[in-house]
Amino acid sequence: MRPRRAGCGDHGVVTSVTVVGGGVVGLTSALRLAENGHAVTCVRDVPAAGTVSAVAGGLWFPYHVEPRSRVVAWGLASLARFGMLADDPTAGVALREGLLVERAGPDRWWTEGVSGWRDAEPAELPDGAESGVVITVPLVAMPVYLGWLETACVAAGVTLAGRRVDDLADIEDDVVVVAAGLRAPALLPDVEVTGSRGQVALLANPGIDRWFVDDGFEGAMTYVLPHPGWVVCGGTDVPDGSEEADPAVHDAIVARCRAAVPELRDAEVLGSRVGLRPVAPAVDLRLHHVHGRPVVTNVGHGGAGITLSWGCADEVVALVDGLE
Ligand SMILES: Cc1cc2nc3c(=O)[nH]c(=O)nc-3n(C[C@H](O)[C@H](O)[C@H](O)COP(=O)(O)OP(=O)(O)OC[C@H]3O[C@@H](n4cnc5c(N)ncnc54)[C@H](O)[C@@H]3O)c2cc1C
């Protein structure tokens, strides 16, 4: 750990930042801070491949997250950055067309500022659905993308450290960014985040590249998110803390997705994954002062941590730069 620079604050110069968290939110924050000239250490006790971020389907869509007034701008910033990353074959980002079925009728708040979408034709919709949106958005292959993010962090000068932080007071850098997802309240008791369980099934990709989301089931959705080699099939969204895959839920997901996308009928089942979405009443992105030191929280992204990652990281940088 670099020593905390004496006189920081007095001289108005931020030199060192520790980011706690190495999921998509922490890594993106670390990368943006390093790109902006800060000396950054990213500390995490779970490698990226073991995080909730690695379970995610990777669709750009602001699902189960508040407040909408800020989510739109964060999502647009991420949309632009992922659009650029789609040109990098190592990043695991593709721009793919798909269908979002709206069982409860049109709810288009999230399209503000987004171009290139259209109403689905009736013939494109599943039985019983009356509306939907066809749109091309980023689809992020998370295991690939998280590796890309770590590599980009190191290239930008971020030090990646593997250890658990038990107390923010143990960190010596000038500024701390808490991007610890569901576990943020253990570090900052006034932060409110709870887990919402998401289970997915992984199937071999038989050659599909169009995604499908149908939010038409109580406590469950049907979604099919194709990546090169595998398809993330979902899913559930229930307030439950268990991280064990439920075999009955798995079978129901596979059956629903095969019914929705017939090309999956004979696709090999590769496994199950469970993640707990870090849900908060609103994304907690603000500046605190803990024992006199600036602490920025970037937590509570619910079902939209990838979707909002770049926009929120930009705001973290603005808050840290604002200390100077
Ligand atoms: C099934 C499922 C599907 C999803 N699909 C999508 C999707 O399609 N699109 C989308 O945008 N979002 C999706 N999400 C939501 C997304 O996965 C989350 O919002 C996002 O991963 C949260 O990222 P994070 O970095 O905040 O947390 P995490 O990925 O949980 O990372 C937390 C990090 O903090 C570290 N940490 C915590 N406490 C400490 C500590 N005390 N000391 C050291 N390290 C610590 C951990 O080691 C870890 O590295 C989905 C989620 C699930 C469960």
> What spacing in Å lies between the alpha carbon of 278 and ligand 1's midpoint?
7
Ligand 1 centroid distance, CA of 25 (Å): 7
pLDDT of residue 241: 81
Residue 204 lies in a domain: yes
Domain count, the chain: 1
pLDDT of residue 13: 59
pLDDT tens digits for range 65-84: 999 999 999 999 999 999 99
188-217 pLDDT, tens digit each = 999 999 999 999 999 999 999 999 999 876
Q: Position 279: which residue type?
A: V
Three-state DSSP at 85 gives helix
Kindly state whether residue 79 falls inside one of the protein's structural domains.
yes
**Which residue, judged by its Cα, is nearest atom 50 of ligand 1?**
56
* Residues near ligand 1 (Cβ within 6 A): 20-26, 43-46, 51-53, 55-59, 164-165, 179-183, 187, 198, 200, 234-235, 275, 277-278, 299, 301-307
Measure 297 CA to ligand 1 centroid, in angstroms: 14
> How many residues in the chain?
324
Q: List residues bridging with 8 in a β-sheet.
A: none
User: What distance in angstroms lies between residue 309's CA and the mean position of ligand 1's atoms?
Assistant: 11
- pTM exceeds 0.85 for this model: yes
Residue 119 lies in a domain: yes
Note whether residue 47 is domain-resident: yes
Which phi and psi angles does 215 have, rounded to 5°? -90, 50
Residue 59 alpha carbon, nearest atom of ligand 1: 8
Domain containing residue 217: CATH number: 3.50.50.60
Domain that holds residue 36: 16-321
10 lies in some domain: no
> Mean pLDDT, the chain, as a whole number?
94
CA 310 – CA 138 distance, rounded (Å): 13
In a domain, 4, yes or no: no
Residue in 139, 183, 197 to alter for ligand 1 test, most ligand atoms within 8 A of Cβ: 183
The 8-class DSSP code of residue 91 comes to S
- Nearest partner of 26 among 188, 180, 183, 147, judged by Cα: 180
Asked if the structure places residue 11 within a domain, the reply is: no
Which pLDDT does position 218 carry in this prediction?
66
The first and second tokens of residue 279, run together, are 């849900």
Q: Residues near 228 by Cβ (< 8 Å), separated by ≥ 6?
A: 141, 205
Q: Which of 125, 112, 67, 81 is nearest to 283 (CA)?
A: 67
What is the predicted pLDDT for the residue at 240? 80
Residue 5 pLDDT exceeds 50 = no
| 299 CA closest ligand 1 atom index | 26
Do the strands 211-217 and 93-101 form a parallel or antiparallel pair, or are they unpaired? parallel
Ligand 1 midpoint to CA 147 (Å): 15
- Going from the Cα of 39 to the center of ligand 1, the distance in angstroms, rounded, reads 23
Question: Does residue 217 lie within any of the structural domains?
Answer: yes
